[in-house]
């Protein structure tokens, strides 16, 4: 009923019928999808929904990957069941989102858990249709009961919770290759817009008029870049009509909330194709203008330290390891922090408040209020503040430092610094061995270092600037209540001679802290 009502409104308001495409059902002999590539939990969700009398399909990028013979990393499901109906069918299911209300069905617990995202078929309403619906005096309350869709004067979609049939759900998706539906039980692919053909041709094509679709949701501009970078290695290219409006549409992003742009920037950098994304932005003439912090990433991508961080992130995603934005952004902004810190030290500020003040300045100028005050900002601060403490390898400091929750993040940050010559690689190697050792072996490492330092001449040696800063940090850190101990430069000191007895750990056991990109690493993992 609602579909017919909307069709009539669109025809009356625009003088044309909406183009929802022609439904095609393609069987296994044509699409050749290997059913063993489908995740069992996604199969379970589809089966449960269908058993309850609903339609249910695997949808989006997972179908595209299956058609290409790839095993998808994520599986999304689309259904005609409402979020409330979906939630009622699963023991661990949660409705999330405001602009897009979806259901997360959770399997497993802890780090091994998996989420299947379930969305309800949505109606396709452009600005003319939305105005016709909202302004029609004959529209009854019951007809509008499920409609929470709004479009502003420029045609930008504000809310999109209008449930509708599958053909309209397909029309409102971005690209043809992401608008296909796979029924794993019947083994058919439902295609309305030639997605199967475009997948075979390796073509990235927008559904409908690209310029209008970018106006409806300017974030599609960023999504287009992300998909192009992700699929470039598979030979995908933009259809000319999809590509040509991208650059002229860039100013539309000024109307998008900064928090959403920040999230989209993180997606660009954490898909496992950050370097390809940066090259795509340069090729399209969009290296500047999407988001200030992204502009900075593109600008600094050729710096050895930042490039190493981007490569490390891409590698971890490719290995199905977790990644955290705090680590990558800490790498990108480290030169600003270091420069501000050294400038304040030159003005004879106390080192500890000088470092804190430099960090505050960077958050204010580069990130603002978007995430600098939350967990992401706190993690970045810890990574930076722990760097001077790695210079101290005597006394109790190594034992306490390795127990810090963000030790692994700070260590991996320091390891990257060593890889580009910013700190001595011997220091990074020592900490790697220490972090993976048992307590008794750790004590032996500290004792061996102490003995080695005692054999060294007492003549004053020139120390690297980072060591001087770390040593100078100690008095002010004690004033501020920080745990940075004396003798930060690691050249000896009055460490107690009596060896402490600690609980024995299995040899090779790693640090209990999380790793740089947000997941625990075992002690045998050299990363």
Catalytic residue set: 74, 76, 174
Q: What is the DSSP string of 307-362?
A: HHHHHHHHHHHHTT----HHHHHHHHHHHHHHHHHHHHHHTT--HHHHHHHHHHHH
DSSP H or E segment with residue 150: strand 150-151
Nearest to 352 by CA among 483, 506, 217: 483
The 8 Å CB, 24+ separation contacts for 79-84 are: 79/49, 79/54, 79/55, 79/118, 79/119, 79/120, 79/121, 80/54, 80/55, 80/120, 80/121, 80/163, 80/165, 80/166, 81/49, 81/52, 81/54, 81/56, 81/120, 82/120, 82/146, 82/163, 83/118, 83/120
Region of residue 53 (left: phi > 0; alpha: psi -120 to 50; beta: else) = left
Pairing of strands 237-238, 203-204: parallel
- CA 396 remoteness from chain centre: 36
Say if CB 40 and CB 7 are below 8 A apart.
no
- In eight-state DSSP terms, residue 252 is G
Q: What is the rounded CA–CA span in Å between residue 252 and residue 214?
A: 8
């Amino acid at each position: 009923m609602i579909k017919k009502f909307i069709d009539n409104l669109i025809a009356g308001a625009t003088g044309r019928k909406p183009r929802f495409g022609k439904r095609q059902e393609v069987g296994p002999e044509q699409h050749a999808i290997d059913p063993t590539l489908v995740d069992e939990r996604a199969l379970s969700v589809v089966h449960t929904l269908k058993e309850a009398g609903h339609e249910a399909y695997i949808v989006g990028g997972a179908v595209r990957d299956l058609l290409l013979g790839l095993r998808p990393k994520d599986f999304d499901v689309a259904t005609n069941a409402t979020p409330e109906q979906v939630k009622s069918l699963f023991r661990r299911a949660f409705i999330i989102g405001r602009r897009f209300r979806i259901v997360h069905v959770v399997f497993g617990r802890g780090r091994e858990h998996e989420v299947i995202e379930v969305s309800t078929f949505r109606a396709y309403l452009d600005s003319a249709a939305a105005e016709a619906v909202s302004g029609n005096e004959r529209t009854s309350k019951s007809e509008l009961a499920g409609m929470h869709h709004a479009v502003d004067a420029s045609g930008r979609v504000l809310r999109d919770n209008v449930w509708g049939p599958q053909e309209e759900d397909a029309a409102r998706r971005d690209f043809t290759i992401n608008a296909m539906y796979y029924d794993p039980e019947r083994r058919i692919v439902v295609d309305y817009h030639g997605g199967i053909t475009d997948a075979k041709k390796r073509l990235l094509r927008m559904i409908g008029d690209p310029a209008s679709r970018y106006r409806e949701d300017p974030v599609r501009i960023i999504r287009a870049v992300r998909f192009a970078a992700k699929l470039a290695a598979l030979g995908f290219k933009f259809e000319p009509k999809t590509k040509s409006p991208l650059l002229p549409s860039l100013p539309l992003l000024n109307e998008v909330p900064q928090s959403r742009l920040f999230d989209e920037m993180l997606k660009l950098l954490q898909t496992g194709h950050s370097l390809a994304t940066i090259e795509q932005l340069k090729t399209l003439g969009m290296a500047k203008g999407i988001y200030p912090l992204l502009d900075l990433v593109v600008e600094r991508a050729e710096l050895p330290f930042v490039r190493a961080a981007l490569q490390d992130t891409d590698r971890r995603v490719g290995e199905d390891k977790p990644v955290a934005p705090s680590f990558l952004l800490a790498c990108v902004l480290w030169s600003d922090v270091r420069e501000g810190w050294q400038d304040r030290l030159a003005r004879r500020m106390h080192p500890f408040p000088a470092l804190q003040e430099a960090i505050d300045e960077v958050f204010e100028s580069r990130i603002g209020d978007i995430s600098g005050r939350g967990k992401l900002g706190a993690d970045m601060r810890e990574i930076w503040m722990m760097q001077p403490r790695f210079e101290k390898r005597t006394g109790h400091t190594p034992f306490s430092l390795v127990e810090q929750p963000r030790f692994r993040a700070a260590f991996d940050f320091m390891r990257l610094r060593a890889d580009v010559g910013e700190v001595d690689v011997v220091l990074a190697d020592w900490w790697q061995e220490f972090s993976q050792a048992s307590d008794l072996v750790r004590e032996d490492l500290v004792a061996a270092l102490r003995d080695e330092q005692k054999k060294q001449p007492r003549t004053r040696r020139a120390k690297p600037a980072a060591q001087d800063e770390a040593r100078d940090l100690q008095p002010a850190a004690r004033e501020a209540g920080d745990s940075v101990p004396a003798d930060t430069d690691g050249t000896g000191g009055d460490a107690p001679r009596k060896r402490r007895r600690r609980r024995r750990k299995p040899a090779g056991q790693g640090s209990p802290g999380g790793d740089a990109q947000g997941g625990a690493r075992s002690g045998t993992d050299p990363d």
